[in-house]
Structure formats: structure tokens, C-alpha cells
Amino acid sequence: MLKIRNMKLAVYGKGGIGKSTTSCNISIALAKRGKKVLQIGCDPKHDSTFTLTGFLIPTIIDTLQSKDYHYEDVWPEDVIYQGYGNVDCVEAGGPPAGAGCGGYVVGETVKLLKELNAFYEYDVILFDVLGDVVCGGFAAPLNYADYCIIVTDNGFDALFAANRIAASVREKARIHPLRLAGLIGNRTVKRDLIDKYVEACPMPVLEILPLIDDIRISRVKGQTLFSLSSSEHDSSLLYICDFYLNIADQLLTEPEGVVPRELSDKDLFTLLSDFYYTSGQTIGQNSDGFGKGNKNHETATSSEINFSVPDFFL
């Protein structure tokens, strides 16, 4: 077995793109490969680990507040909950809405886990991070991470967010040995825009997962694909688990990854809008196979894609 110790992963991507779903299933996949795994939810929504534990666990910030920030009064069992497949779970929680900083919350979380002698106890720690537009605060997990992983679909908005995250990785990599392990395409069968993007901004594509109703259902049931397939003895779900096992296996080889060179906004707009104009295709839901109309393959023409305006930058 590969001797991974203390590997830190940070999963980023546009809101609602599937970061938590992907994180939970990767965490279990890593645990299935014999690794001791901790998943830290770093989204004020604090639902990162919901499918691992089946409930919304108390957050670190709420727990610290209830103890007047006396770290010595907090016990591991107050904040670390065991989830499916022996994956340990923590929710950092959020700063008060409209005030405070996500970076502070992440900093407090790491500080407390160190106080509890938990931070170095794991083979893999996975940070699941809110990452639409990465401000300094929400980029904080990148200060601890060995690898960043970006979840995207095949549409402009998620790739725009991916490009911002790539810029944050490049910035943090100047002061810390951080690499971008690659992109995970989620909820998409099509990958033409993803391919176009990685051609211009080279980075690995670790996996492409289609829109799968069983994944949505697993979330509603408060379960991961692994727990669902075993509790319901449903071997038809195993092919979905294989996507996550494949990602875990790639990570466990400690891949080289990249320090990305993000595109300028102008180049990104031009690249993707040129692509829409010249490919002569009609576009269904940002070409990602997800969203309204997915079932009946509704399409929109390029003239309806209102970001196709490189003239903005002249």
C-alpha cells in the first residue's frame, strides 16, 4: 500500500457544482484504500459532511462560541464525528452573515484540530471549500493543502470560477508547495469546453462524471453512493463508485499536477465565446448537459449566450 501521510487536499468549485458530493465520495474511496481520512467542510452552509454522517453536525465555530473560545474545554468528540466508512468529519462553520471572514474560521478550525492533536493524525485531510470567487479568506485552505482539486461542469460560469481558483493556486504556490491535481468534470457528458479550457490553461482532467439521478437521490437520502450501494445491495451503483475510486487512486500516486497559469478574463471570454461562435453547435444549458431542459435537450443558440462579448475588453 502506498505510504501516504498527511496529504492535504482542497476541493474548490462554483457553488452547487457538486463539491461536497464529490468530496464525500472521494473521502470514502480513500478510506476504502486503507487511508485514515478527515473531511473538513469549510462552507458556511455546513452541509459538506451530511451524506457521510446523515445529519448536520455541530460546527467548530458554534462549539467554540458556546465555550467562550476556551480551547481547553473542547474535546475531540465535541467536533469530530465519525461518518460512513470510518471517515472522520468536521464542519468549520461560517462567520456571521455579512461580517467576519471565512479565512478566520478555517484558521480557528486548524488551530483547534492542532490543539486536539488531530491535525497530523490523518493520512489524508480533505477540505471542502466554498469557492465561487476565491477571496483571500476562502483561499485559506490552500495555505495548508498539497493539492487543489477543482470541480466544474462544461459551462462558462463554472470554468470562469475554475480559472479564478487556478489563479489562487498559482499565487499560493509561490510561497508553499501547492499543486493543482486537476479538474473533475461533474454533471456533464459533454467536455468540449473543458477540453478547450485545459488546452489553453494546461492541467489534468482527473475524471468526468455525468448527471446521474442516483447521485441526486443519494443526497436526498443523506447517503453517499458507497453507503447506498451497500445498504440497498444495489450493485448497479458500483459503476458510480468506480468514478470516485479512480480519482482516489490517482491522488494516492501523488501526481505531479501543475502550477497553473490562469487565463486573463479577456482570453477566457474570447476562448469560450469564440468556441461557441465557430463550432456551429447549438448549446444546451451551457453545453454541460445540466440544468433546466436537460431531460428534453432544450437548446439555446450562441446569440442567446450573453457572455459572448469580447468587445467588453476593448
Residues forming the annotated binding site? 16-21, 45, 101, 135, 186-187
Residues that bind Mg ion (CB under 5 A): 19-20, 43
Residue whose CB is less far from Mg ion, 186 or 286: 186
Query: Are 145 and 10 a contacting pair, CB within 8 Å?
Result: yes
> Given 19, 35, 172, 190, which residue is catalytic?
19
Partner touching 268 among Mg ion, ligand ADP, none, CB below 5 to 8 Å by kind: none
- Give the contact letters, 185-204, x = binds to ligand ADP (CB under 6 A), - = no: -xx-----------------
19 annotated active-site: yes
Does the protein bind ligand ADP through residue 21 (CB under 6 A)?
yes
> Given 88, 123, 128, 132, which residue is catalytic?
132
> Given 32, 45, 111, 196, which residue is catalytic?
45
Question: Which residue do the cell numbers 471572514 mark?
Answer: 101
Partner touching 190 among Mg ion, ligand ADP, none, CB below 5 to 8 Å by kind: none
Cell of 262: 490562469
Known binding-site residues for ATP equal: 16-21, 45, 186-187
Residue span binding ligand ADP (CB under 6 A) among the ranges 31-39, 98-106, 157-165, 211-219:
211-219
Give dist(CA 124, CA 246) in Å, integer.
16
Return the CA Rg of the chain.
20
14 annotated active-site: yes
Q: Among 219, 224, 271, 287, which residue sits at the site for ligand ADP (rule: CB under 6 A)?
A: 219
Number of residues that bind ligand ADP (CB under 6 A): 16
Angle at 172 between CA 168 and CA 174, to 5 degrees: 125
Helix pair 19-32, 238-252: axis angle to 10 deg: 70
Residue span binding ligand ADP (CB under 6 A) among the ranges 2-10, 69-77, 206-214, 223-231:
206-214
Residues that bind ligand ADP (CB under 6 A): 13, 15-21, 186-187, 209, 211-212, 215-216, 219
